[in-house]
Amino acid sequence: MLKKLDPLLHSELRLAIMSLLISVEKAEFTYLKEQTEATSGNLSVQITKLEDAGYIFVKKGFKGKIPQTTCNITKKGVEAFEKYVKDLKEYLKL
């Protein structure tokens, strides 16, 4: 039967975040916001969910005097993403 898709990744915005993070070393909140065109609130919530799941690591610091949130994907996150893609291919018969 069809595999159960990871519900944490089967969300448009979270998938976009993970997809962006998988190909870079790290990315800033503002960069993710620009790329995804999400609102800050939505982005903040989804980042927290991915962080809680251990899929990404979030570091809060400052760029000069301005707060700066930086994210990077974890090993667990990469594995989850790859599994999601694999499972999805079964659905789509790719």
Partner DNA sequence: TAAACTAGTTTATAATATAAACCAAATTTA
Partner DNA sequence: TAAATTTGGTTTATATTATAAACTAGTTTA
In the complex, the residues that contact a second copy under the rule CB under 8 A are 1-2, 4-5, 7, 10, 12, 15-16, 19, 22-23, 35-37, 85, 88, 91-94
Closest approach, Cβ 66 to a second copy, in A, equals 25
CA distance 77 to 57: 9
Q: At what angle do helices 12-22 and 29-36 cross, to 10 degrees?
A: 120
Is 56 in a helix, a strand, or coil? strand
**Residue 16 or 53 with smaller CB distance to a second copy:** 16
Residues that bind DNA (CB under 7 A): 7, 10-14, 28-30, 38-49, 60, 63-69
